[in-house]
Amino acid sequence: MTLETKEDLETDNVDVVCDLLDKLVLKQLHLMEEKMVCELNIESCINNGSIHLAKSRYIMGQSSVSTARLPMESSPEFSALTTCETTEEDDVQQLKVVENNNKSKVNPIRWFGVLVPQNLHKAQSIFQNTINVVVECVNVQLQLFENMRNIDALKKYVCLAKS
């Protein structure tokens, strides 16, 4: 192999890495946009759920829907209705929402009485949906971190190849 051929190969490798870097930066921009959309969805869900809670409080009265009805440290323990577990997809850790099938689960809506307004049920379903949106946002954030690690590794390779 001549010196020119070796330099040509190194230049070709750097060009390929630079193309890959361009693609990763574009992917990063798309992921950032996706994360912003997720965060806006979270904000919208929380606002909608809060409005339904306020309507429920208006219908049932101030004392019926308040923090005084929430469980305290001395309350009996119960299992969460929804949990998250970590899975690995494409060498990236992701979170996944898992419904709890435990027999001892407690429906939190019962803390406010047996006959509760539809707005309270609506608020509950909105907040349950918000959990899915939050997990989606976290997964996008994890992809952003992984993409940044890949970009940093390729930048170091290019710097070493050029020196």
Say if pTM beats, i.e. exceeds, 0.85: no
Residue 73 lies in a domain: no
The type of residue at 93 is: Q
- What mean pLDDT is predicted for residues 137-154? 94
Phi-psi region of 90 (alpha: psi -120 to 50; beta: other; left: phi over 0): left
HSE, CB side, 13 Å, CA atoms: give it for residue 74: 1
**Domain-embedded: residue 106:** no
Please give the tally of structural domains in the chain: 1
The SS3 assignment for 85 reads: strand
Q: What is the pLDDT of residues 49-82, one digit of tens each?
A: 999 989 988 888 876 766 776 777 777 777 778 8
Write out the residue range of the structural domain in which residue 95 sits. 3-67+79-101+113-162
Residue 72 lies in a domain: no
Residue 140 within any structural domain of the chain: yes
Model pLDDT, residue 10: 66
Per-residue model confidence as pLDDT tens digits over 15-28: 888 899 999 999 99
Q: Answer whether residue 88 is part of any domain.
A: yes
As a residue count, the chain comes to 163
The CATH number linked to 90 is 1.10.287.3240
Residue 1: pLDDT band with limits 50, 70, 90? very low
- pLDDT for position 111: 79
CA–CA dist 21, 84 (Å, integer): 33
Cβ 109 vs Cβ 81: under 8 Å: no
- The pLDDT value recorded for residue 21 is 93
Q: Which residues contact 93 (CB under 8 A, 6 or more apart)?
A: 86, 87, 142
In a domain, 42, yes or no: yes
Top pLDDT among 100 and 18 is at: 18
